[in-house]
Amino acid sequence: MPRLELPNDQWAELREPDEIPRKAARKYRGKMYDIVTAATNAGDGIPGDDDPDRAAAVGRTMMSSADGLNGFEDLAEAMVLAVTREWSFGSVCQEVLDELPDGPINAIYDACQKGGYAEALQPDFGATPDEDSPTQPS
């Protein structure tokens, strides 16, 4: 992917979605699983699985809790760290990210959303066409 221009003459070079290191992808997925767990345990007053308003109710509950909000920020940061190959700020690591203003991080995150990175980071639990795979369709 070409260099992404960031505020204040800074830049970031993003990996192609199929070049994301497995370790970074697993960190992202771990944050996503934390959010799913928190949503599953969201509490009383959440409609049942068959209720069309369930997703909205879970979302409201998550957004009104500190754990939910922190989870979404953690997920966004994990995505930024997973997809960024290099940037003008020095090492691509949590310590450097923690010292940056929101502007560049938001710009990278927005580019990730538009570039299909969220989909690329999702686990694939589907059946494989590999005949020797234990998940091959029967």
pLDDT digits 0-9 by tens, 24-67:
999 988 888 877 777 666 555 555 556 666 666 666 666 665 56
Residue 9 falls within a domain, yes or no?
no
In this predicted structure, what is the pLDDT of residue 87? Answer: 97
Instruction: Give the domain extent around 30.
Output: 20-45+53-120
Nearest to 77 by CA among 115, 106, 116, 120: 106
Angle between helices 22-40 and 54-63 (to 10 degrees): 100
Residue 13 falls within a domain, yes or no?
no
Residue 30 falls within a domain, yes or no?
yes
DSSP letter, residue 93: S
Give the integer Cα–Cα distance in Å for 56 and 42. 12
H or E element that contains 11: strand 10-14
Look at the chain and report how many structural domains it folds into. Answer: 1
Paired sense of beta strands 84-87 and 10-14, if any = antiparallel
The predicted-structure confidence for 59-115, as pLDDT tens digits, reads as follows 666 666 556 667 788 889 999 999 999 999 999 999 999 999 999 999 999 998 888
Q: Which two tokens stand for residue 118?
A: 């969220």
Residue 106 falls within a domain, yes or no?
yes
Residue 10 falls within a domain, yes or no?
no
Residue 87 falls within a domain, yes or no?
yes
Global pTM exceeds 0.85: no
